Chain A
Amino acid sequence: MPQLAMVTGAAQGIGRAIVERLGADGFDILALDADETQLSRSAADWREAGLTVRTAAVDCRDRAAVIKALDGVEAVDVLVNNAGISGVLDPIGQVDRAACDRVMGVNLLATIRVAQEAVRRMPDGGSVINIASRGYLGGAGAAHYVASKAAVVSLTRAMAIELRWRGVRVNAVAPGMVDTRMIDGFGDMLGALKRMEPTGAPANPAEIAAIVSVLAGPDASFVNGQILMADGGKSLGLPPL
């Protein structure tokens, strides 16, 4: 019987690539996303590709909705906590309370709530993969986003320390710039930011999905509590090619 992988923020970008990769790896997929329209479009493509995917349009901040999406699910073997937003890009003094709450709510609180409900259904050998960001190291003009991703990194470590005793591994992937709709928010800065990437371009979402695939499976059974930086070496200060 195929194992089940639950993916949040699944409808597009990195999440969609993860669904397609884990589906190709042989998992059945439970795909969650707040964007019902985009989720329906992606689901049609997935079905056409022969993947076994169940979808649920869910704002993962809503615990009751997450539990409803899990109705009838006996076991979640892999959870990929991918749903996230970047929010406005402004200096800390110009970010209002509502914007801060929204980014922390989606990127951190939803991650915790989804993980709790999935881990309750996770058998021995289960794997949780949280999608953080290389931005957790710090950055000017995005303090609430940076804080939310740093929180996910620390959460990952604490979850790994604790859930090891349930036979569950918890790791995180911290991508650098990835070619998704999220980077459209950079506006006029996008070209310059792309040129600053060590490889000269953002990563393809499939590259991040490939790392998730390894962390999800038995080849990574000895990897726990780690933050895998996938940024082309930018965090080392590597200059562009």
Chain B
Amino acid sequence: MNMSKPSTLVIGQGPVAEAIASRFSADVQGGVITLARPDAAAITALEHGLAAAVLVAPPAPPPSLFLDIDDARLDAQLADFTDLFEALGALLGRLNPKGAIVLVGDRGYLGAWGAADACAFSGAHVALMRCVTLEGFGAGHRANCIALDLAQDGAGVDPDEIADLAVHLASPASRAINGEIILANRGRSLRVREAKDRRADFAASASSKGPSL
């Protein structure tokens, strides 16, 4: 953990988390603390209150047909979710009045082909953000969600664009925005990606027939 003049906490790994931490370091007064993973104990142990926190959810697992999703994959996603759940609870205890939380997730909550489990957990992330919004009203906290494309959408993401949005949502300039989900994919979700004949995919899936054990 890197700590100096704590003001903003950025949690997560990968290019998006790195770009967000970099933008806060460059543009926002006060220090930036980084954590590679949601860690409730580390958050609780912070010396100072936080003006803002950005959590970048772990990336969704690779695409898998519904019938091919195994228990190990489900258990791993549940463990990640519970880490995030605990971290959000700890964050509400460390956030200064009128502080902001930004959760960077993905668009899976809307549903997607070959990602039923990831979509489910994406929906859970969005719901958590809404609950945090409601529970944080009294302290003037805000919480919002940035929804990125799923990896299988194929277009990728510009981490700097997401960092711009995260900084905006964490700042008082966006104080009218609360409990919202911002789809940050340049409008790609308007394309009807799922309207495609998928019968061949099922023919290739051995586990689509018969019991799994």
List residues of A whose CB falls within 8 A of some B CB.
Answer: 63-64, 67, 70, 91-95, 97, 100-101, 104-105, 108-109, 112-113, 115-117, 119-121, 136-144, 146-163, 165-166, 225
Contact = CB atoms under 8 A, between A and B. Distances in A.
A165 B198 contact: yes
Contacts of A97: 82, 85-86
Contact of A93 (B74, B81, B92, B119): B92
A138 B131 contact: yes
Contact of A63 (B71, B78, B130): B71
B88 interface: yes
A120 B209 contact: yes
Interface of B: 65-67, 69, 71, 74-75, 78, 81-82, 85-86, 88-90, 92-93, 108-117, 119-128, 130-135, 179, 194, 197-199, 201-202, 207-213
Given A100-B82, A138-B179, A147 B128 contact: yes
A120 B127 CA distance: 30
A142 to B, nearest CB: 7
Contacts of B85: 92, 95, 97, 100, 143-144, 147
A112 B127 contact: no
Contacts, number: 169
Contacts of A63: 71, 212-213
15 contacts: A93-B92, A93-B93, A97-B85, A117-B212, A121-B211, A137-B130, A138-B133, A139-B131, A147-B81, A147-B124, A147-B128, A152-B123, A154-B109, A159-B116, A165-B197
